[in-house]
Amino acid sequence: MCCLPMRNVVKAAIVVFFSGGSSSIWQWKLVKNGDGGRRIDFNLVKKRLDTFLAPSIKIVRDAKMTHECAVELVNQVVNELSTMGFYQIVHFLENPVPILAIAVEVGNEEIVRILLRHFPDLMYLTIIPQRNILHAAIELRQEKIIGIIKEISPTIPKCLSSQKIESNYHTLHLAGRLAPPCKLFSISGAALQMQRELQWFKEVEKYTQPADRVCRRFGSQTPKEVFRTAHEMLSRDGEKWMKDTANSCMLVSTLIATVLFAAAFTVPGGNHNDKGIPIFLRTNAFRLFAISNALGLFSSLTSLLMFLAILTARYALEDFLESLPKKLIIGLGSLFIAIASMIIAFGATLTIVLRERWYWVSVPITLLASFPMAMFVMLQLPLFVQMVQLTYGASIFRPRLSRV
């Protein structure tokens, strides 16, 4: 009698567990942190920022309450299921809708964690045609689900990956297919999308047998050939994206290098006629000018060389994994430093030239000159941060701390 209500509870919990919510990043983190984070003084917030923050705080509070209620409801349902046999549990989870398959598809880690911790044998269950939970997570690019499996038992992924999928396919063939659009387009730039796909393939490759990595069943393609064929268009788009980015940034680097190189020979304030030594050599402003000018020149030349290396790269598939992203990271990082150094050198020059009468003018002019730099950083910094995270971040399948 209680099976239908329990099933409805689990289906509802899948929906409310942030499967497709529109909460902002800070709201999501506040809900996820739970009692372990800092508590917000709602009274103080209400007094000072009531008009601005009150609606958002209410949304966060409601979302947190919904999340906690859903966790408790699912735990209660799982406790009831514990009294049933395994086949009864499977029947409950698959009828009338495949609850576990839906949870894996939407990346609902809380539901999956609760079910797998109470019923570990579900990991061997075929949740979609010829796919166990690991196969489905790999094909759908749900790294959190794989992290949960590793969290429960680090050796299970190797056992699951050895299970047969289709007559012509191994687990690594699934990783060689193109990711779903919702996962692919969550990353900026075709080159970074290609990098993520290669990272997925390499991570899954660690859990497969050496013979399976080169297996060609019944005349089918090897996993690497499947990957190359499926990602041919993405590889071309990644090459075009890399070259367009390098061309645009190289133009900026060239202009900065030209300006700073010329400034090194036309120092502010001029030189002594008899010795050729800069007049303001001993001032702090001149020292700042010299250091920032040299740093900006070297940084712009470094970025110029990196972007040139990107333009002349061979663009093999393996280059998208580390070589090209690292060059772009160094190039953009050096370009940021060069732009900042140029602005500092400009401010120091104004201070030297206007120090006698209009000393105060240098401050607002420098601030105005910093505006283009700030705009450039704001536009490019998210891309830069994402590249660093993808290139130097932790493993895709890292286990997560249990919160349930």
Query: Any idea where the domains of the chain sit in the sequence?
Result: 1-125, 233-392
Lowest-pLDDT choice from 69-73, 102-106, 245-249, 375-379: 69-73
pLDDT at 280 over 70: no
Whether 112 contacts 102, CB under 8 Å:
no
The pLDDT of residue 287 is: 86
The pLDDT of residue 335 is: 93
Q: With bands split at pLDDT 50, 70 and 90, how would you rate the model's confidence at 102?
A: confident
Position 52, amino acid: F
Q: What is the pLDDT of residues 211-231, one digit of tens each?
A: 777 776 545 788 888 899 999
The pLDDT of residue 367 is: 80
The pLDDT of residue 242 is: 95
Other CB atoms within 10 Å distance of the CB of residue 221: 17
Q: What is the pLDDT of residues 16-25, one digit of tens each?
A: 554 444 444 3
The pLDDT of residue 29 is: 40
Position 9, amino acid: V
Section 97-109 average pLDDT: 84
Q: Into which CATH architecture does domain 233-392 fall?
A: Up-down Bundle (1.20)
pLDDT at 276 over 70: no
Strand partners, 278: 271
Q: What is the pLDDT of residues 27-55, one digit of tens each?
A: 434 344 444 444 444 454 455 545 555 56
> Which has more pLDDT, 9 or 281?
281
Q: What is the pLDDT of residues 344-399, one digit of tens each?
A: 888 888 888 777 676 677 678 778 877 887 887 788 888 888 899 988 887 777 65
